[in-house]
Structure 1
Amino acid sequence: MAEVGKRRVVVTGYGCITPFGNTIEALWDGLAAAQNAVAPLKSLPTDALPTSYGAEASAFTGGIEEFGPLDKNQQRSIRKNLKVMCREIQMGVAAAQVALYHAGLAIGKFDAERTGVVYGSDYMMTLPEEYAAAVKKCEADLEARKFDTWASQGMPEINPLWLLKYLPNMPASHIAIFNDMRGPNNSLTLREASSNAAIGESFMTILRGHADVIVTGATGTRVHEMRSVHTVLQEQIATGESAGLCRPFDKNRNGMVLGEGAGSMILETLEHAEARGAKPLAEILGQGMSTVIARNGESNRRQALVNAIRFALEEAQLSAADIGHINAHGLATTDSDKEEAAAIVDVFGDIEKQPPVVAVKSYFGNLGAAGGVVELIASLIAMQKKQLFPVLNYETPDPSCPVNLVRETMPAPSGPVLNLNVTPQGQAAVVIATI
């Protein structure tokens, strides 16, 4: 077992499913063109929602060709199991398979016992149609609030494998099975903090010497018949003239925008990558996580972010001045942006002292658990392209959000990216990476 802290952890592959398309090239093209991917929703009825806009990953249909090049056995196995994967799981597995291909990691080219999967997601919600036949069978009794016939008449109408389609541990399970990965396997469900938490745990798993390679990432959605209802009941959603715009840190922001997607990265030790002739695309330098919530249930996103940022900087042995740019959570809700801005000021100082700040959600809203990894991939590609993309839809500065936002395309500064994510419940996760 390698000594903790002595290993270097590099990134050798990317894969993503986003509202811009199913490739990292499509992601970059959308960012470089400053394109707004938010449009009228087509995949679900919106008459019961306060908005009719969202950013759908419409290029993803779940077809086997969207899982990247596969050998015949993998293709057969994945196609057979598509029926027990909901859309979120399908997107997560597809992103991972594309990342594995990008990294050149085919079955037989790695030690199965030293290769694992750590994946993030949100809790997954069943589609109403899964229960439709069962409810119809017992409709009269259910309307009369009589439930005695549900077990005998209703339940038999439900697919006995329906639960497998919605378990949040299934992305990691499927990826491991399809690729014969027998090392550490973990699933993290921390809402929007899931991506960075999964990447951070993957990083630490490799540092601990428990694995040489980890497939990591996350999948998520806010575009879903039930999830969208939950989201609008729990959070501030952009409405009115801003319904089709995500406005991080703008004075006139009035809520988040619904989105969906998935992202994956292949992490491995530098020695392992060099031994197999793989070129590192980036390096993970540090990670930090923190949850701050009061006894009455009130969260403190500001302090959670400050804690996580400082933990990550300490682990990376960096100071705040060493950071090249920040990829903000930038949810575009009134309170979240205000608390995040305060955390950035607490650690980095006022605008003049802060590194440039980007906010990928301004392009396609909140991808849920997938947001963090897609945002990190976006920053790493921008660093490779030597070009930072602007924050979209930012028109009126907000005195309560004094952050050094990138207003137009600019050269990417040297130095690593600090990637931030936080949940309404005060769970923060941070990753620091460089190219």
Structure 2
Amino acid sequence: MSEDSNQRVAITGMGMVSACGNGIDAFEKSLLEGRSGISAIDLFPGVTPPGHIGAQCRDFNDSSIKKEYLKPQRKSIKVMCRDIQLGVASANLALEHSGLGIKEEEDPRLGVEFGADLMLSPPDVLFGAVAASRNEQGMPTDTQWGEKGLAQMEPLWLLKYLPNMPACHISIYAKACGPSNSLTLEDANGNLTLGESLRIMRRGQADTMIAGTTGARLHVIKSINLTSLKEVAEPNGQAPEEVLKPFDKNRSGEVLGEGACAFILEREDKAKERNATIFAYVLGIGSSCVRHPKTGPDPKQAMVNAIRAALRSADVTIDQIGHINAHGSGSQTMDAAEAAAILEVFGDRGREIPVTALKPFFGNCGSGSGTLEIAGSILGLRHGVVFPTLNYATPDPECPLNIVHGEPLKTDNKIFLNINVTRAGQASALLVEGA
């Protein structure tokens, strides 16, 4: 099916749940004040991740979940793990922000595109079943599982941890009967959910899409896994909010977080018909995955490919882009690879174009990060600025980029590029224009 590239796709609503606050006003206030949401955590006991710090959604607690953010889905909360709760709440906020409202009848022209990480059970959820399946030596066995272990499982256990469930819950509440899809490409999800929505709408398959992502890397199992991969920064006596340093010479890794963000995308003509506020336009999408048989993932080449594909998709030149919102995880190797990719695509301008990285505000939320970054750039442009990269102090010769730091950078160029990449060599790039 052919695409109509002349069909403008507008963003008319945004909703987020993050360590910087929930909803537009709280999130925007944190960015304007340069206030990080990274702090000591109390989601689970112990000392994981290092220093027991992270970007925790503190305002998203048992009381607020039921009374405020998930009130329409309160009967379904029992089959939602935290990742799902965050994602559905962000979509509820986005729908409210857009002014669309919930129709009485099912809408075949409204679709949902939502991304999530793989979701894991906490150890205590499986403990009873595993303990029941032990043999005489006290070791869990598969031979005892069917007879003794399975009966100890929660009957609806699987529904709590399926990555397609955010889209399911959102579709049911919004009566969205148009295209529906769930993506599980970790950090690359954010750009892709908006990009796939763009393509769906340009093909004429929907007038409106709910697009977003959710991720909770602050999880006892995920935190241990990432810490063992040497991906997580050690505080080493620093204040929690000072630990994450994207592109800085003294960076030492990422800081784990949790969060979600959703957007309402509408055909421009439909948005104008209802006098909706237009915050931005989605221009183009690019993606790539590069892995070599002998050396494994090649994130740098994947980012190069994705950026170039996004430029072609949007019919935009590198000279038209006002700033780059980088993946900027704080990893020594990944930040250097991203800098190399930017320089390869942008040439000499790669050292001049403003680059920001917003994870020091809300941590690395995995799938949830990319959409939060996009929202950050859109909100900054509403104020005529690019928000700075927190904690950037010492330039790194391996990352010779023009990192926005200190104070917000004034700008009147509304077009920006958002980049995200995974350790597996999957990259995505999205071009957006502020309204």
TM-score (norm 2): 0.94
What is the correspondence of 1:5-404 to structure 2 with a 5 Å cutoff? Answer: 5-47=5-47, 49-61=49-61, 63-67=65-69, 75=72, 78-108=73-103, 112-139=107-134, 141=136, 143-144=138-139, 146-239=141-234, 240-241=236-237, 244=240, 245-296=243-294, 298-350=296-348, 354-404=352-402
- For 1:384, the aligned partner's letter is R
1:110 CA displacement: 8.4
| Whole-Å separation in 1 of the counterparts to 2:353 and 2:9 | 24
Contact 2:135-2:144 within 8 A present in 1 as well = no
| Whole-Å separation in 1 of the counterparts to 2:344 and 2:371 | 25
Go from structure 1 to structure 2 and tell me whether the alpha carbon gap of 1:368 and 1:3 turns closer, same or farther (over 3 Å shift): closer
- For 1:67, the aligned partner's letter is Y
| Whole-Å separation in 1 of the counterparts to 2:245 and 2:94 | 30
Structure 1 residue matching 2:432: 3-state secondary structure: strand
1:405 CA displacement: 0.5
Partner of 2:432: 433
Question: How many corresponding residue pairs?
Answer: 428
| Whole-Å separation in 2 of the counterparts to 1:279 and 1:147 | 57
| Whole-Å separation in 2 of the counterparts to 1:265 and 1:5 | 20
1:192-249 C-alpha deviation (Å, 9 max, x unpaired): 0011111111111111111111100000011011111122223521012458311000
1:151-183 C-alpha deviation (Å, 9 max, x unpaired): 222211111101100000000011001111100
Go from structure 1 to structure 2 and tell me whether the alpha carbon gap of 1:164 and 1:146 turns closer, same or farther (over 3 Å shift): closer
| Whole-Å separation in 1 of the counterparts to 2:345 and 2:105 | 41
| Whole-Å separation in 2 of the counterparts to 1:135 and 1:353 | 55
| Whole-Å separation in 1 of the counterparts to 2:367 and 2:350 | 32
Structure 1 stretch displaced more, 102-111 or 22-31: 102-111
Contact 2:12-2:264 within 8 A present in 1 as well = yes
1:143 CA displacement: 2.2
| Whole-Å separation in 1 of the counterparts to 2:102 and 2:126 | 38
Go from structure 1 to structure 2 and tell me whether the alpha carbon gap of 1:180 and 1:237 turns closer, same or farther (over 3 Å shift): same
Q: Give the CA RMSD over aligned residues.
A: 1.9
5+ unaligned residues in a row in structure 2: which ranges?
none
Structure 2 residue matching 1:215: 3-state secondary structure: strand
Go from structure 1 to structure 2 and tell me whether the alpha carbon gap of 1:315 and 1:427 turns closer, same or farther (over 3 Å shift): same
Partner of 1:423: 422
1:122-141 C-alpha deviation (Å, 9 max, x unpaired): 11111112112223334564
1:260-293 C-alpha deviation (Å, 9 max, x unpaired): 1000000111111122221211111111111111
Contact 2:20-2:36 within 8 A present in 1 as well = no
| Whole-Å separation in 2 of the counterparts to 1:418 and 1:172 | 26
1:109 CA displacement: 7.7
5+ unaligned residues in a row in structure 1: which ranges?
none
- For 1:47, the aligned partner's letter is V
- For 2:210, the aligned partner's letter is V
Structure 1 stretch displaced more, 103-112 or 204-213: 103-112
TM-score (norm 1): 0.94
Structure 1 stretch displaced more, 188-197 or 24-33: 24-33
